Amino acid sequence: MTTLDQKLGQPWKKPPFIQRAWLRWGLLLGFAAYLIAAFLTIEVNWSRVYEGLERGKQFILAFTSPDFVTRSGDIWEGMLESIIMTVAASVIGIAISIPIALGAARNVAPLPVYLICRSIIAISRALQEIIVAILLVAIFGFGPLAGFLTLSFATIGFLSKLLAEDIESMDRVQAEAIKASGASWLQWINYGVQPQVMPRLIGLSMYRIDINFRESAILGLVGAGGIGATLNTSFDRYEYDTAAAILLIIIVIVMALEYLSGIIRARVQ
């Protein structure tokens, strides 16, 4: 029992976030040591950076006068290819994700199916787009097919996981009411599950289309089609005005997609 007299005149300190002193200091010192080590090992060629500032300024200025015209043919073709890959991969990816998501939801699928679907998701999530793209380009050759397959594959991991989580957290009573009416499995999914997860599915799909488009912009770097190749070339040639034009187009399309998905999500919810 502490009394007022004991406290009066005593300095007060906020109790620390981590109670054990050795752990608190250990973590702090460890982090500081890491930061110092990291700083020391990052080699920065400051004279090169200083030279680069001029080019950086040029690049920023290029945004005020982007050149859409000189390489308009390349830009148009690359953009179209990116969009085509995005659309096709999103459609196929979403279509495949739905059954896998059902399979990966423990309250819908039996255990063996659940394990298979979860491992598909784990593999797809662990492998990055760009690495998958490198492998697929090696296997299928250059071109948008590799990009399309990469994006479809990545969509499966993303969408199935989030959708499966949504299915697992759905309202059990509604689904049971449908089952109680004597519905078959497919009817049960259609009436008991689908209406509950549909808004989320649409929202996630819109989000994934957005991501797919952004990713499609880099797949060209490894030869998997899309605007990336054009962008890379324009950087290599220091054609900053063309690069700025491409980046602006990407930003505008992403903004438009976000705006659109906002409207669609507001409508379905």
Partner 1 sequence: MLRLEKLVKTYKTGDQALKAVDLDIPEGQVLALIGPSGAGKSTLIRCINRLVEPSSGQVYLGETELTGLSSGALRRERRRMGMIFQEYALVERLTVMENVLSGRLGYVGFWRSFLRKYPQKDVDEAFRLLDRVGLLEMADKRADELSGGQRQRVGICRALIQDPALLLVDEPTASLDPKTSRQIMRLICELCKERGLAAIINIHDVALAQMFVQRVIGLRFGAIEFDGPPDALTPDVLTTIYGEEDWEATIESVDEEDLEVAE
Partner 2 sequence: MPVHDWKGQKVWQLRTQRESLAHWVMWLVGVAIFAYCWQQISQATTWAFVWDAPRIAGDIWTRATPPRWEYITQLGEPIWDTLNIATMGTIISLILAVPVAFLAARNTTPSALFIRPIALLIIVSTRSINSLIWALLLIAIIGPGVFAGVIAIAIRSIGFCAKLLYEAIEEIDETQVEAITATGASRWQVMAYGIVPQILPAFAGIAVFRWDINIRESTVLGLVGAGGIGLQLSASLNILAWPQVALILLVILAAVVISEWVSAKVRGAII
Q: Which residues bind partner 2 (CB under 8 A)?
A: 34, 38, 41-45, 48-49, 52-53, 55-56, 59, 80-81, 84-85, 87-88, 91, 126-128, 130-131, 134-135, 138-141, 143-145, 148, 214-215, 217-218, 221-222, 225, 228, 231-232, 235-236, 238, 243, 247, 250-251, 254-255, 258
Comparison of 7 and 267: residue with beta carbon closer to partner 1: 7
| Of the candidates 97, 113, 109, 207, the residue with the CA atom closest to the CA atom of residue 161 | 97
* Tokens of residue 182, six digits: 């004597």
With CB under 5 to 8 Å by kind, the binding choice for 13 among partner 2, partner 1, none is partner 1
Residue 151 or 204: the one with the smaller Cβ distance to partner 2 is 151
DSSP E strands: which ranges in 187-247? none
Assess 2 for contact with partner 1 (CB under 8 A): yes
Residue 1 carries which DSSP code?
-
| Binds partner 1 (CB under 8 A): choice among 11, 73, 112, 182 | 11
Q: Which is nearer to partner 1, 13 or 267 (CB)?
A: 13
Q: Smallest distance from the beta carbon of 31 to partner 1, in angstroms?
A: 20
Report, in Å, the least distance between residue 2 CB and partner 2: 25
Q: CA-CA distance, 254 to 266, in Å (whole number)?
A: 18
User: Out of 12, 39, 46, 185, which residue is the one contacting partner 1 (CB under 8 A)?
Assistant: 12
Residue with tokens 């930061």: 35
Tell me 69's DSSP state.
S
- What tokens appear for 70 in the block? 């000189």
Structural contact between residues 117 and 51, judged by C-beta atoms closer than 8 angstroms: no
| 22 touching partner 1, by CB under 8 A | no
Enter the tokens of residue 262.
């906002």
Give one DSSP letter per residue of 5-23, joined into a string: HHHTT----PPPSS--HHH
Binding residues for partner 1 (CB under 8 A): 1-4, 7-15
